[in-house]
Amino acid sequence: MAIQRTLSIIKPDATRRNLTGMINDRFEKRGLRIVAQKRIRLTEAQAQRFYEVHAERSFYRGLVAFMTSGPIVVQVLEGENAVVLNREVMGATNPADAAPGTIRKDFAESTEANSVHGSDSLENAAQEIAFFFSTIEICP
């Protein structure tokens, strides 16, 4: 299995409840290394661009409003099979469907306010990492 990088976002519902450390602990305990991390506040234009793929969905406007409602922590996670491993650590989009012990099961407030984002493919991971980080900000 190859070493991969994936983009993770700790969402505003989680930063508001001061859960950054608890969530990072889940990543590190499962062997994901945080090789870049910064706390930022997205502008509306940035959130719209990041979630452009969902522009036609009914939840798009609400999602953009939610993602700009407070600080987020964007991070690059590195490890064996990091893309799929992070999706496992996160759990299903809707916390009601998430497996026990996952971040979303334990911390998410709703399908929208579900505490974390994680890239869903290696190709998207590369694009999403480049959206937030320059090469010199990533320190393996």
Closest to ligand GDP by CB, 45 vs 59, is 59
Q: How many CB atoms lie within 10 A of CB 76?
A: 26
Nearest distance, CB of residue 21 and ligand GDP, angstroms: 21
- C-alpha angle 9-34-70 in degrees, rounded to nearest 5: 30
Smallest distance from ligand GDP to CB 114, Å: 5
Does residue 54 carry a catalytic annotation?
no
Phi-psi region of 57 (alpha: psi -120 to 50; beta: other; left: phi over 0): beta
Give the Cα separation of 86 and 32 in Å (integer): 8
Nearer to ligand GDP, 59 or 137 (CB): 59
Helices (H), 56-116: 60-67, 82-90, 103-107
- Cβ proximity to ligand GDP, 26 vs 135, nearer residue: 26
Q: Which of 68, 105, 120, 124 binds ligand GDP (CB under 6 A)?
A: 120
The distance of closest approach from Cβ of residue 115 to ligand GDP in the complex, given in angstroms and rounded to an integer, is 9
- Give residues 4-63 in contact with ligand GDP (rule: CB under 6 A): 59, 62-63
**Nearest CA among 107, 78, 104 for reference residue 89:** 104
Q: How far apart are CA 20 and CA 103, in angstroms?
A: 11
Annotated catalytic residue, options 5, 26, 104, 117: 117
Q: Which of 78, 106, 109, 112 binds ligand GDP (CB under 6 A)?
A: 112
Give the interface with ligand GDP as residue ranges (CB under 6 A): 59, 62-63, 93, 111-112, 114, 117, 120
